[in-house]
Structure 1
Amino acid sequence: MMPRSLKGLVCWIGCVGWVLGAVFSSEAATLGSHYPFGGEGVLAATVPPPGFHYRVYNTWYNPTTLKDDNGDDEDVGLDLDVFSMVHRFIHVTEKKILGADYFYDIIVPLVDKDLTIAAAGVSDSQSLALGDTVFELFGLAWHQPRWDAAFALAVIAPTGEYDLDKPASPGLGYWSGMLTLGGTVYFDEARSWSFSALTRTLVNGEQDDTDVRPGSEFVVEYGLGKEIPINDKLLVRPGISGCAYWQFEDDSDDGPGTLADERKESYALGAEINFFWLPPTLFQVNLRALREFGAKNTVQGSQFVLTLTKSW
């Protein structure tokens, strides 16, 4: 039997998935988001044991359509390709608060976008550049034999360049606050079968140039997985993962090309597989593919995520 700390690391996909870059035109306050979903899935709400952890999320996103308020296709000649490389530096401390491990982390996204909207005469691109940075300085992680839980508070700072006249800007031009809550349930004593769900609530500030404050947002990412020992050095965990997104508050005003009361909504479902090399290597590779559906007032497409994790 593995000790709990090592078992937590073996199971970990991560507590908080991070900024993958604004995936649509920065001209429209309501169309961007500081948390495009899909970064996490199986064991999303299980935080690693005390130590230092480095993760890099590599995401390829190719939305093929823009959806209107009824969920119908908008014929605007959309051509969008996004690649993001998000670096996350995590420290889970030995300090206990309310019986939980205290942790903090910083997330630094690099974003590459190529955008064309024929109907609007828009054509813009941005090579890999700094996006908006996440500072999560207060997080709590609980671990019990049959469940894990996580709570965290973060501030997202507009460190990426934002220009109203550059639709492919890597930044969104406003601050956000983010609350994270989630839990994982294990269906057997060996903790090999798990279901996890992680929620984020975002409250946004006013966007530069447009003076529009995007409405508050709610995201849930979830996954059902099974851990399979391959040998004494490798564990494999396949699973089904998905996510959902709702904007639950109107924007403060109409923006360029947007209406304040047209709220965003989207869903995605897919599969993933995680490879974990046991000590002394302590290295993970996670592959996830998701297909979006049911979108309103935003883009819809597919994404592929390759996540690498090294722990000490």
Structure 2
Amino acid sequence: MQLNLTARHKRQLSSIFLMTARLLCAPDEGLAPVQHEAMDDASSPPPGLYYLGYLFNYRSSDLYMPGNNARLPGDVQLKSTSVINRLMWITDHKLLGADYGMEVIVPMARNSLQSPTYGVDLSESGGADIYVSPLILGWHTPRWDASVGTGVWLDNARVGDAFLGPGAGYKRYVVSGGATYYLDEARSWSASALLHYQHNDRASYGWRFGDQVSMDWGFGRRWGPLQAGVVGYSRWQVQRDEGLGTADSYAQNHAVGLQASYIFLQAKMMLRAAYYKEFGAKAGSLPATQGDLLRLTVIKAF
């Protein structure tokens, strides 16, 4: 599909694409990858040192514009591939009756934006913003687990000349809390929900994106080392964006999918795969994407 565009319209669309690229690299405007795990991940693990490695592949060809949420016509492809290294330490110490732990997350990402319709072909890759959490608390009982945590996404990574770099350009402060309920004494069936509240600093380019609430949920069944079930996530912007040119609209998006995992007991490892389909996306001050997410995870206990 080819559109007849004036030079002015092409400049306007280029600006839209550059701002849209922010969705691929900033967890708070688009997808918060390390949060979207679901199933019974509101449960913290027992004391020990854990490595979690993630491979994310996100693709979207649906772009919704700020203000009217109309879908942008033409061929537009947004892609983001992330490799995320996460190190979690749950100590033997107790705080408020809970296991006390901490974690650090170091992501790398490659983001791309192509559109033959509008003559756009952009890509950039590199190390993304690092997440540091000094506080993870986990409580455990025979029929339910609960956890809370807090941390900050640093603004250490570059934003990039075309806003396509892996850095957000501002710090994000996160408070999380959730619970897993086991429907039977054998803990075969589980239902889980994990909530995150995120406060955003002002960005290096002048805007401050409104705070957001996100929720990950899951319902699953376990057969020995195998677990499978239905998972999903939602994100809602709860404060207005601030800055010249921001819109009086609130972003949101939702997804539902399937997840399966298998535990290798002797190796102290777990392999996990999940697929999500997004729906109900609405744009705030930036365009909103609606796409598919594939996530592969390896977890190793030491």
SS at the partner of 1:260?
coil
Aligned pairs for 1:112-131 (under 5 A) are 112-116=110-114, 122-127=120-125, 129-131=126-128
Alignment of 1:272 onto 2:259: yes
Deviates more, 1:131-140 or 1:31-40: 31-40
Deviation at 1:73, TM superposition (A): 1.4
Could you tell me how far 1:159 is from its partner in structure 2? 1.4
Structure 1: distance between partners of 2:278 and 2:153: 25
2:186 corresponds in structure 1 to: 190
Note the residue ranges of structure 2 that are not aligned, 5 or more in a row.
1-15
**Within-5 A mapping of 1:124-163:** 124-127=122-125, 129-163=126-160
1:34 maps to a residue whose letter is: P
* Secondary structure class of the residue paired with 1:246: strand
Task: Encode CA deviations 1:248-306: one digit per residue, 9 max, x unaligned.
Answer: 11111244xxx33222110000101000111x311000000000000011100001000
**Equivalent residue, structure 2, for 1:174:** 170
Answer yes or no: is the 8 Å Cα contact 2:26–2:166 preserved in 1: no
Q: Deviations over 1:176-225 (max 9, x none)?
A: 100001100000001110000001110000111x2111110110000001
RMSD, aligned CA: 2.0
Amino acid in structure 1 at the alignment position of 2:263: F
CA separation of 1:62/1:46 partners in 2, compared to 1, >3 Å: closer, same or farther? same
Q: 2:249 aligns with which of 220, 239, 262?
A: 262
What is the SS of the residue equivalent to 1:227? Answer: strand
Flag structure 1 segments of 5+ consecutive residues without an equivalent.
1-23, 230-234
Q: CA deviation at 1:227?
A: 0.6
Which residue of 2 is the match for residue 220 of structure 1? 215
Tell me the CA shift for residue 30 of structure 1: 7.8
The alpha-carbon deviation at position 71 of structure 1 amounts to 4.4
Is the CA contact (8 Å cut-off) linking 2:21 and 2:113 kept in structure 1?
no
- Using structure 1 for the length normalisation, give the TM-score: 0.84
The match for 1:9 is none
| One-letter amino acid matched to 1:253 | G
| Stretch of structure 1 that moved more, 302-311 or 165-174 | 165-174
* Number of residue pairs aligned between Structure 1 and Structure 2: 277
Residues 30 and 251 in structure 1, CA contact (< 8 A), matched pair in contact too = no
TM-score, structure 2 normalization: 0.86
Point out 4+ residue stretches in structure 1 off by more than 4 angstroms.
Answer: 28-32, 117-122
What is the distance in 1 between the residues matched to 2:218 and 2:268?
Answer: 22
Output aligned runs, 1:15-54, within 5 Å.
27=19, 31=23, 33-35=26-28, 36-37=31-32, 39-54=36-51
The change in CA–CA distance for 1:307 and 1:228 in structure 2 (over 3 A counts) is same
Aligned to 2:206: 211
